[in-house]
């Protein structure tokens, strides 16, 4: 397989296909010859029933989808795709090896006698069958090329994956030297109290998928890379993060931390949790956080924060309601909102209303 980097240079990715038994994977994990990094994917998004049915499928002899590993500079293998499958079986075989509770099987539909049992309670023949069952592993051979590892993880986990776009960014950023430091800035700022309070209308289910961290990334993309927006939000955010990770765009964590905190302190002080949501006909905030509203308000505060400092919160809130209710803003947030002209239009409308600069 041949991969091209961002400068158009071709790099060949060499792979090796190996069949491991689950017993071998467990031993390799115990010996620290295979690294299973929980930060790549949340370790157990699967329910107990899903894990149990995987064990049942193995006992039935059904084929298990392959896993992908990458060889690091020390020759140690890092699991980059297939964590749910691998960790579920390892949990059943030896839960202490991966610091998880003992797995008690449940929800097995075809071999119902497995239900309620742990590894120590099943017969020896079945136990050995699970340990000896093979799973195909594709090993990406050693490469010190950060871009190859980054792009490979992103591609493996795009499409049918259960990971959200931001979870993929969290994981793939760690493939690059310094990437973990950058992502930890996003994580830290997502917990900043004024930001968390101002974005509290973000549903908890979305927070679990790191949508709050995506909003932090969107803030910096809006501030530092607005001109690269082409109409696709995911590609825009991916492109901005990649430009930072690979040194194409400067990101000063100290300066960015200060701007972010100053901006969200002001937003929350002035508008509370009503900054990024719609209002009903009675002027009451309603519904969840709307990303298009978030972009417009953040940009207005980034650009004109000092001018809004002395405006009373009640006055600023009324101006915001008027902005959101204006035809110009509605036209910029309706169908086809993710276009460059409409992005600039909604930012302009909110900025003019908040600063009381509405054209006559």
pLDDT higher for 326 or 177? 326
Task: Map out the domains of the chain as residue ranges.
Answer: 2-161, 179-354
pLDDT band at 106; cut points 50, 70, 90: very high
Query: What is each CA distance from 99 to 23, 91, 92, 130, 357, in whole angstroms?
Result: 17, 8, 12, 20, 59
pLDDT band at 13; cut points 50, 70, 90: low
* Integer Cα distance of 199 and 197 in angstroms: 5
Angle between the N-to-C axes of helices 165-173 and 179-190, in degrees from 0 to 180, rounded to the nearest 10: 140
Q: Please give the average per-residue pLDDT across 57-81, as a whole number.
A: 86
Of 237, 233, 354, the residue nearest 303 (C-alpha):
354
The predicted pLDDT at position 7 comes to 46
Residue 149 has pLDDT above 60, yes or no: yes
- pTM, two decimals, is 0.71
The answer to whether residues 92 and 130 touch, using CB atoms and an 8 Å cutoff, is: yes
The answer to whether residues 40 and 80 touch, using CB atoms and an 8 Å cutoff, is: yes
């Amino acid at each position: 397989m041949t991969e091209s980097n961002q400068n158009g240079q071709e790099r060949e990715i060499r792979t090796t296909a190996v069949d491991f038994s689950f017993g071998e994977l467990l031993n390799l994990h115990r010996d620290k010859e295979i690294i299973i990094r929980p930060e790549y994917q949340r370790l157990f998004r699967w329910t107990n029933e899903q894990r149990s049915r995987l064990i049942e499928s193995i006992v039935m002899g059904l084929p298990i989808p392959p896993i992908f590993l990458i060889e690091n500079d020390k020759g140690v293998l890092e699991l980059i795709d297939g964590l749910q499958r691998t960790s579920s079986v390892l949990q059943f075989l030896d839960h202490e090896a991966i610091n998880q509770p003992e797995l008690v099987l449940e929800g097995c539909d075809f071999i119902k006698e497995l239900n309620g049992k742990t590894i120590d309670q099943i017969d020896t023949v079945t136990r050995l069958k699970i340990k000896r069952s093979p799973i195909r592993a594709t090993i990406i051979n050693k490469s010190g090329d950060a871009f190859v590892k980054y792009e490979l993880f992103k591609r493996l986990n795009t499409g049918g994956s259960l990971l959200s776009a931001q979870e993929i960014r969290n994981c793939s950023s760690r493939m690059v030297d310094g990437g973990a430091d950058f992502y930890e800035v996003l994580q830290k700022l997502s917990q900043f109290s004024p930001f968390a309070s101002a974005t509290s209308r973000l549903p908890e289910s979305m927070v679990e998928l790191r949508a709050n961290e995506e909003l932090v990334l969107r803030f910096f993309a809006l501030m530092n890379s607005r001109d690269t927006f082409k109409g696709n939000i995911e590609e825009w955010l991916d492109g901005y993060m990649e430009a930072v990770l690979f040194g194409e765009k400067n990101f000063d964590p100290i300066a960015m931390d200060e701007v972010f905190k100053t901006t969200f302190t002001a937003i929350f002080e002035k508008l509370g949790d009503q900054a990024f949501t719609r209002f009903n006909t009675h002027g009451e905030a309603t519904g969840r956080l709307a990303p298009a509203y978030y972009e417009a308000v953040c940009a207005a505060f980034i650009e004109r924060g000092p001018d809004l400092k002395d405006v009373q919160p009640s006055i600023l809130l009324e101006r915001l309601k008027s902005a959101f209710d204006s035809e110009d803003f509605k036209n910029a947030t309706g169908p086809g909102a993710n276009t460059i002209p409409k992005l600039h239009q909604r930012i302009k409308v909110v900025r003019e209303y908040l600063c009381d600069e509405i054209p006559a």
